[in-house]
Amino acid sequence: MTEHIDSGRYDVWARHHEEHGTTELIPAATVVILRDGEDGLEVLMLRRSSKIAFGGMWVFPGGRIDDADT
């Protein structure tokens, strides 16, 4: 059902295509912000609202690219 990648992980895109057919791609971007903290490396992450898709998950800042973005 799902194609395997050499490392043994699942190919999520192939599975999605198999289950839902062709999907239009949505331009998106993300950033990873790191800094040296007193106790070592620090990473900026956001927690998604529990009221939206994937609620409560920790994510890097970013998202859909809108026409107004430059």
Which pTM does this prediction carry?
A: 0.55
Q: Which residues are CB-neighbours of 11 under 8 A, at least 6 positions away?
A: 2, 3, 4, 5
Q: Please state the separation of Cα 49 from the chain's center in Å.
A: 15
Interval 42-61: pLDDT, tens: 999 999 999 998 899 999 99
Interval 2-37: pLDDT, tens: 444 455 566 777 777 778 777 777 889 999 999 999
**What is the reported pLDDT for 6?**
55
